[in-house]
């Protein structure tokens, strides 16, 4: 099997296939209709570089020792193999287009080439204009705004980065068809990462009067201040600066909140078009019948929930991601050569969604992607990492989730009743672990993205189907150690009656069992 890995930046699961009634995402929904879709998938840290290095190496942030953007794991932690490197060593042509690794120091200024990729990674030339003043204001002048619908023909080079990435990925698929070599192609899309810069016609899909505010646009009363993210990157945009919102808890005006949400959805539909063109090209080159397609994001994004924007937190809106796997012959019946699996769907005139082929509510983690993809491609699954794995080149800290593909949810639920093997029961009630660093107990200018030397507190979150439990504990950046004897704050949300995580019951519930679980896990 070939592999096409699609990684989206800052995409929470606002998609038709995840039950969103407003968002128009026909092409991603069509992929879901042929895929195994995980409705409870979580990133290990809700910020770009740490999340990507984590799932591309199959190691957690405490093992990659990357919580910011400023170190390269091979030098700073251990010379760990990556998922594309493993495929490359097993005879695959490995190709990177767009934002796969986070660019910069965290991937050695080379996207980890030549370790991970067969040829130098492709970056769209328009990428360098992402934060330029290209957004036309009401006064006709150009600004570096957060909300930025544009006329593409007026953009530098007359294009946008994701359009260029799609074109390059299609070009590579055509070469792969000619070469007849098995490939691992990773395509990283920028949108809906800020600035929300997308072709202006997508606004037509989302009339402002249809846009609501977040269901809980206030900071929860019992939220510890250490857990709050003050969305500094948004405050630095020209249109937000002009609103002069007080730091750290001042709210954005309601009408501007609606505009952000409208533009986020418009950017998602623009992204959906790119995914549709890419998958249609997979059909065109006749490779849909022997290519595994994975679609996911590096983390989510708050759209005003809890009075927060951006990522930078342990809330579900920041850590939960879409995750789906199309595996010909497994998630669908075998596809005959030349059959159309992914005809392009135009979001402007496509009516009606398509339900996922299979859906699992099991809680899963992005750190499991490496072992899962290895198993789906028929490669030997890398071994589980030992307790101390800094010197181990090839191992993963995430277990393959392929065993969830064929088991009906009903059977798994029934299987839990007669469960007497504690270890097996633990595996059947899966957990996702996420974490987020902070420089202080209260919001600072660098709370969202503290550099390693400034981290003083680490928030460890354990998410099960029923609850989210978080401990904010003292952290020493000099030896990367967390001190669970020194708890600064805690959060506990019971999902059944508090799905939006607004009512923190940590301080009025006994939670010895939760503490034991999180400590047991972190020790191992």
pLDDT value of residue 454: 98
Quote the radius of gyration of the chain (alpha carbons, Å): 22
Tell me the pTM.
Answer: 0.95
pLDDT value of residue 428: 56
pLDDT value of residue 524: 64
- Does residue 416 belong to any structural domain of this protein? no
Look at strands 2-8 and 93-98 and give their pairing. Answer: unpaired
Q: Going from the first residue of the chain to its last (524 residues), give the mean pLDDT of each consecutive group of 10, the final group possibly shorter.
A: 98 96 96 96 98 98 97 97 98 98 97 98 96 94 97 97 98 94 97 98 97 97 97 97 97 98 98 98 95 98 98 98 96 80 94 80 97 97 94 97 72 39 52 97 98 98 95 97 95 95 91 81 72
- Does residue 252 belong to any structural domain of this protein? yes
pLDDT value of residue 519: 82
- Does residue 503 belong to any structural domain of this protein? yes
Beta carbons of 491 and 470 less than 8 angstroms apart: yes
- Does residue 219 belong to any structural domain of this protein? yes
Residues with catalytic roles = 48, 102
Distance between CA atoms of residues 1 and 57, nearest Å: 21
pLDDT value of residue 520: 83
Look at strands 320-326 and 291-297 and give their pairing. Answer: antiparallel
- Does residue 417 belong to any structural domain of this protein? no
CATH of the domain at 508: 3.40.720.10
- Does residue 337 belong to any structural domain of this protein? yes
pLDDT value of residue 416: 41
Range of the domain at 358: 2-408+429-523
Q: What contacts 463, CB < 8 A, 6 or more positions away?
A: 40, 42, 316, 319, 363, 431, 432, 433, 434
**Among 194, 460, 202, CA closest to 302:** 194
What is the total count of domains within the chain? 1
Tokens representing 172? 């590579």
Beta carbons of 229 and 248 less than 8 angstroms apart: no
Beta carbons of 285 and 173 less than 8 angstroms apart: yes
- Does residue 311 belong to any structural domain of this protein? yes
Tell whether omega for the bond before 45 is within 30 degrees of 0, i.e. cis: no
Distance between CA atoms of residues 294 and 302, nearest Å: 24
């Amino acid at each position: 099997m070939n592999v096409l890995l699609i990684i989206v930046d800052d995409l929470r699961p606002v998609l038709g296939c995840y039950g969103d009634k407003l968002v128009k995402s026909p092409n991603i929904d069509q992929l879901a209709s042929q895929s195994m879709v995980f409705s409870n998938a979580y990133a290990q840290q809700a910020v770009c570089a740490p999340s990507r290095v984590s799932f591309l190496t199959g190691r957690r942030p405490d093992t990659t020792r990357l919580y910011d953007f400023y170190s390269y794991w091979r030098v700073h932690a251990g010379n760990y193999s990556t998922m594309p490197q493993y495929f490359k060593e097993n005879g695959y042509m490995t190709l990177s287009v767009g934002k796969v690794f986070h660019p910069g120091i965290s991937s050695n200024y080379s996207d980890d080439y030549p370790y991970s990729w067969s040829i130098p990674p492709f970056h769209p030339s328009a990428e360098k204009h992402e934060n330029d003043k290209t957004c036309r204001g009401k006064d006709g002048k150009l600004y570096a705004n957060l909300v930025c619908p544009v006329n593409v023909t007026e953009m530098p080079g007359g294009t946008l980065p994701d359009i260029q990435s799609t074109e390059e990925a299609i070009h590579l698929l055509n070469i792969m068809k000619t070469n007849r070599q098995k490939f691992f192609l990773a395509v990283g899309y920028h949108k809906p990462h800020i600035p929300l810069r997308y072709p202006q016609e997508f606004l037509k899909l989302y009339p402002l009067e249809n846009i609501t505010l977040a269901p809980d646009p206030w900071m929860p009363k019992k939220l510890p201040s250490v857990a709050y993210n003050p969305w500094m990157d948004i405050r630095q945009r020209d249109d937000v600066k002009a609103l002069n919102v007080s730091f750290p808890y001042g709210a954005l005006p309601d009408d501007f909140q609606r505009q952000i949400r409208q533009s986020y959805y418009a950017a998602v539909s623009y992204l959906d078009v790119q995914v549709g063109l890419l998958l249609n090209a997979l059909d065109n080159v006749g490779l849909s019948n022997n290519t595994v397609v994975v679609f996911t994001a590096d983390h989510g994004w708050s759209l005003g929930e809890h009075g927060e924007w951006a990522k930078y937190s342990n809330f579900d809106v920041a850590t939960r991601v879409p995750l789906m796997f199309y595996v010909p012959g497994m998630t669908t019946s075998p596809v005959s050569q030349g059959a159309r699996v992914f005809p392009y769907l135009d979001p402007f005139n496509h009516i009606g969604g398509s339900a996922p082929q299979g859906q699992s509510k099991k809680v899963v983690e992005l750190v499991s992607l490496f072992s899962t993809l290895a198993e789906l491609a028929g490669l030997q699954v890398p071994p589980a990492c030992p307790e101390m794995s800094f010197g181990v080149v090839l191992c993963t800290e995430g277990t393959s989730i392929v065993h969830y593909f064929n088991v009906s949810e009903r059977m798994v639920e029934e299987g839990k009743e007669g469960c007497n093997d504690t270890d097996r029961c633990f595996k059947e009630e899966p957990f996702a672990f996420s974490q987020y660093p902070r420089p202080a107990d209260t919001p600072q200018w660098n709370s969202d993205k503290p550099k390693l030397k400034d981290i003083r507190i680490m928030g460890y979150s354990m998410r099960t189907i029923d609850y989210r439990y978080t401990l904010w504990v003292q952290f020493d950046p000099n030896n990367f150690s967390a001190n669970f004897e020194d708890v600064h704050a805690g959060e506990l949300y019971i999902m059944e009656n508090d799905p939006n995580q607004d009512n923190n019951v940590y301080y009025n519930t006994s939670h010895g069992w939760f503490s034991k679980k999180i400590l047991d896990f972190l020790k191992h």
